[in-house]
Every structure is written in C-alpha cells, then in structure tokens.
Amino acid sequence: MPRKFTLTDKSRWLELYDQGKSEKFIAREVAHCDVRTVQRGLDEARHAQDARLAQRELIKDALKKHQNELLNVVDELVKAMVPPQPDLYIQWQREDMPQTFSSSGATVEYKGENIWTASLNAENLPIWGPFRDHLKRHQTLRELVLWRRDVVEHLKARVALQKRLVALLEEETGLTVESPGIQCIESIATHELYRIAIRKVLGYSEGLYTEKDIEVSNAGEVMLKGHLLARVGEGKEERCKNSILMAMKKILESPEAAEVSSTLETLSQDAARIKKRLQEISMVGFLPGKCDICEQIGL
C-alpha cells in the first residue's frame, strides 16, 4: 500500500528542494518513495505556500485599510476639539424653540424644555462602533463624555449671557426689545450687540462692529454703523446711546460673562487633554485593541 505523506512532509521536501537538493535525492534519502510522488508533493506544497502568501497579503491589506479608517476617526475627533465660534447665532426669545449649533466636527442641539444633546460628527461614521471597541479601555472615550457635557454647559452660559444683555438693555434704556415698533430696541440688533460682547468675553479680536460704531441720527434713532438699533424719538438719541453703552459695560462685568469664561476654560482643558491622547495615537499609527472587523480579518 502506497505510503501517505502529509502536507508538512511535502513542505519539508520543498524546503530541501529550495536549498538545492534534487528530487531524486529527496525521494531516495528523505521520502523513501518514487520520484514522481516527490514531484507531485513539491507541486502541492508550492501551491499551498503560494496560497498562504496570498492570504497573508490580503490580511495585511485588509488590516491596513481598517487601521486607516480608524485613524481617520482620530483626525475627525481632533478637528472637533475646538470651541464654538464667537459669532454663533443664538436664539433667545423662545425657550421652547429647538436650535442646532454646529461647529467644526460637532453638533449641539437644544430640543426645548432645557433638554440639550451634544454629538460628534465622527459618531455618525460606520466605523465609529469598531473605533469605540478598540478604545473601550482607553481614557479618551471617558474624556469625550466630559467634553460633550462641557460644550453644552458652555453654550448654556452663552444663552444666559445673551438673555442678561437683553435685560440690561431694557433696564438701562427703559425700552423693550421687540420687533420693529415705536420707541423700542430692535430685537435683531441685540444679536449684533451680543456679538460685540461675546468676542470681548472670549478674548477674541474685534469683529465687524464695536461700541464705537454706535451712533445717533437726527430722526430719533440710534444706529449701529448704519443699521437701526433703537427708536426713541427726537431729542432722546444721545441718552439712549449712553444707556446702551452702560449696558454693554455691565454685561462684561456680569456673573454671566464670568460663567462663559469659566466654562470655556473647562472646555479648552478637556480639548487639550483629548487632542494630546489622540495625537499620540496618530504618531503610533495604530489603534490598540480589537473589534469584530479584526476578528473577521483573522486577528
């Protein structure tokens, strides 16, 4: 009965053949069989070797593609670690009106009834679940939870600042903030005053307008660089302007302004820690841990 040879035997023959041993030598001294059996065995071992090499390359390519997708998530998260822009529009008149605040790589939603949510754009990527699995024991995920909480607190502080500014404008001028009417502060214009204030509170350079652009007209109006700010009636323009300037001074010294600064500092510290951890991952060029995709690849 012909002797049975395993693939391990045939692989050993191939090693010897590649080292320079002849088929006859292997048949006579190693396998103790017919040379044609060795020839067939060498072909089988070579095909098996080629298949292993091809599979190894496929696994290597799949792993590289997977890691690149994971590292793209890292890049998206780094982009998101910036504070909301100072000129972000905030609607303050109705607390039941939903709002969406978008910044680089993140979205914060106000859904009414004091319900806020914060999400990272990277969380919408199909690879987010595997990314989270890779870093489930990593401090970064826990710090991202804190970042979401703190960006909401910062935007809440900005809303409170704008509401306080409106209250101060009404207190100082004796006018009401509303839609166009007789003797009122234009509600749209309050946002421009808020933008002046928030840039100062956040430490940004001057924007499109400053307090110096508040001026009076001869028609009972106070203007902001050509845009209507308040209607007060003739002869009351200068007094109204000074009252607006006083409100702007007080808002910068208010507890609400201090809260905006404080929440920004907390948010910035969160972002700095997270960016440092993410940049360390980028420098390594490989995410630790495993996910379902890794198991499918065969890791």
Residue 67 tokens, joined: 């890691």
Percentage with pLDDT > 70 across the chain: 94
Tell whether 290 is covered by a domain.
Answer: no
Question: Do both 267 and 164 map to the same domain?
Answer: yes
| pLDDT value for 109 | 86
| pLDDT value for 148 | 92
Tell whether 291 is covered by a domain.
Answer: no
Question: Do both 134 and 236 map to the same domain?
Answer: yes
Q: Which of 45, 80, 115 is the last residue of a domain?
A: 80
Q: Which residues of 134-146 are buried (b: 16+ CB within 10 A; e: fewer)?
A: bbeeeebeebbee
Q: For 269-280, what is each residue's pLDDT tens digit?
A: 999 999 999 998
Question: Do both 240 and 143 map to the same domain?
Answer: yes
Question: Do both 211 and 121 map to the same domain?
Answer: yes
| pLDDT value for 257 | 96
Residue 278 tokens, joined: 């993410």
Question: Do both 111 and 217 map to the same domain?
Answer: yes
Q: Give the model's confidence band at 297: pLDDT under 50 very low, under 70 low, under 90 confident, else very high.
A: confident
| pLDDT value for 88 | 77
Tell whether 104 is covered by a domain.
Answer: yes
Question: Do both 71 and 201 map to the same domain?
Answer: no
**What is the rounded CA–CA span in Å between residue 280 and residue 285?**
9
Q: Which of 80, 109, 125 is the last residue of a domain?
A: 80
Residue 178 tokens, joined: 């509303």
Q: For 173-203, what is each residue's pLDDT tens digit?
A: 888 887 555 567 777 778 888 888 998 898 8
For the chain, the average pLDDT equals: 86
Lowest mean pLDDT among 93-107, 143-157, 193-207: 93-107
Question: Do both 103 and 148 map to the same domain?
Answer: yes
In the chain, the N- to C-terminal Cα span, in Å, equals 42
Question: Do both 56 and 104 map to the same domain?
Answer: no
Q: For 14-71, what is each residue's pLDDT tens digit?
A: 888 889 989 888 888 888 888 888 888 888 888 888 788 888 888 888 889 999 999 9
| pLDDT value for 219 | 80
| pLDDT value for 181 | 55
Question: Do both 263 and 123 map to the same domain?
Answer: yes
Its domain, for residue 19, covers 7-80
Q: For 124-146, what is each residue's pLDDT tens digit?
A: 999 999 999 999 888 899 999 99
pTM of the predicted structure, to 2 decimals: 0.78
Question: Do both 55 and 121 map to the same domain?
Answer: no
Tell whether 91 is covered by a domain.
Answer: no
| Number of domains within the chain | 2
Looking at residue 20, its amino acid is G
Question: Do both 231 and 170 map to the same domain?
Answer: yes
Please tell me which residue, 235 or 257, carries the higher pLDDT value: 257
What is the maximum alpha-carbon separation in the chain?
121
| pLDDT value for 253 | 94
Q: Is the pLDDT of residue 79 over 80?
A: yes
Q: Residues 6 or more apart from 241 whose CB is under 8 A from it?
A: 214, 215, 216, 222
